[in-house]
Amino acid sequence: MVAFTARAHTNIALLKYWGKVDQQLIIPTTTSISLTLDEFYTETTVEFDPALPNDQITLDQQPLKEKDRHKISIFLNLIRTQAQINTFARVQSVNHVPTAAGLASSASAFAALAGAGSAAAGLNLSQADLSRLARQGSGSASRSIFGGFVQWDRGTDHQTSVAHPLQENVDWPIQLLTVIVSDQPKKINSRGGMQNAMQNSPFYQNWVERSNGLVKPMQTAINQHDLATLGTIAEQNALEMHAQNMVANPPFFYLTDISWQIINLVQDLRQSGLQVYATMDAGPNVKIISHPDDTPTIKSALFKILPEISIQVATPGPGLTVWQNGAAHA
């Protein structure tokens, strides 16, 4: 059969997804809003081949670990069922983003796999159906089908829990400075962490209500290109997500001393008049939401306190692209 390749970019949530109502279908407790990023992406090629005795999967030219391979095969089963085929697949994936370090590699990974896998299986899915499919691999992947600002409606079932673009072409100045504290895989993955928080934080229900209440204000901030309100809401929502983990029993932490140094610096810079805001996912890295003009000031302030730190500038990025191997890539 024919091989297809897909490229999907990561996204960083401005309003976080942190808990599931349905573990199997991946229906979240909250509606989330994200920004797709240009600089970090996954490229995946899929070919179904009747000669294969099982699914063969490589990530960055290395065979995947058994647990991760199993996860991909289960996901491919969703595609096989829909396409009514029972052939195994050859999957080659390359991450242009550190894997499992809280930089949303699972988002770009499953969005790319949904795109290449469904095309290679002969399915011609709509973007909404690709989002529903990607969601079942990793919740945040539902948002990486689209570019720019994206909203994943929590919904109540497979049909209604789907992402849609809020603003695909972002033509106003906003960037995320990603401060890489560590590019090593984290100890507690997102899946385990959110489950832990949901079951063991006494304030979890409060998080759900507050987070869902921030959807409208965040939409308004995006519509009005209001960086200050957008950043304020995003920082508040990220800290509240981490607070759930800190008050869980037993507590657990993604943020390290260095993460807190950066968060404190962001607050200091804000007090000095800059529009800078921090957001953090399931890892120690801090993403600084900011205006591109302020990059030199923010970078020099960061290097002053952390001379060894690595910083990547990320701007709004596009949605999923899929092409047949051998065909020209638009």
Ligand X SMILES: C[C@@](O)(CCOP(=O)(O)OP(=O)(O)O)CC(=O)O
> Among ligand ATP, ligand X, none, what does residue 101 contact (CB within 5–8 Å per kind)?
ligand ATP
> Among ligand X, ligand ATP, none, what does residue 255 contact (CB within 5–8 Å per kind)?
none
Contact flag: residue 5 with ligand ATP (CB under 6 A): no
Instruction: Name the segment binding ligand ATP (CB under 6 A); options: 99-107, 194-202, 218-226, 315-323.
Output: 99-107
Contact flag: residue 99 with ligand ATP (CB under 6 A): yes
Using CB under 6 A, pick the residue from 3, 133, 278, 282 that binds ligand ATP.
282
CA distances for 205 relative to 195, 196, 281, 298, angstroms = 13, 13, 19, 36
Paired sense of beta strands 89-96 and 56-59, if any: parallel
117: tokens are: 């896998």
Contact flag: residue 107 with ligand ATP (CB under 6 A): yes
> Among ligand ATP, ligand X, none, what does residue 95 contact (CB within 5–8 Å per kind)?
ligand ATP
> Among ligand X, ligand ATP, none, what does residue 222 contact (CB within 5–8 Å per kind)?
none
What are the residues facing 167 on neighbouring strands? 149
Contact flag: residue 105 with ligand ATP (CB under 6 A): yes
Q: With respect to ligand X, which residue has the nearer C-beta, 32 or 161?
A: 32
Instruction: Name the segment binding ligand ATP (CB under 6 A); options: 100-108, 239-247, 298-306, 315-323.
Output: 100-108
> Among ligand ATP, ligand X, none, what does residue 16 contact (CB within 5–8 Å per kind)?
ligand X
Contact flag: residue 189 with ligand ATP (CB under 6 A): yes
The 10 Å Cβ neighbour count of residue 36 is 32
Contact flag: residue 233 with ligand ATP (CB under 6 A): no
Contact flag: residue 190 with ligand ATP (CB under 6 A): yes
Contact flag: residue 136 with ligand ATP (CB under 6 A): no
Give the Cα separation of 289 and 278 in Å (integer).
Answer: 6
Contact flag: residue 265 with ligand ATP (CB under 6 A): no
Q: With respect to ligand ATP, which residue has the nearer C-beta, 284 or 319?
A: 284
Q: Which residues bind ligand ATP (CB under 6 A)?
A: 42, 59, 68, 71-72, 93, 95, 99-107, 109, 138, 140, 189-190, 281-283
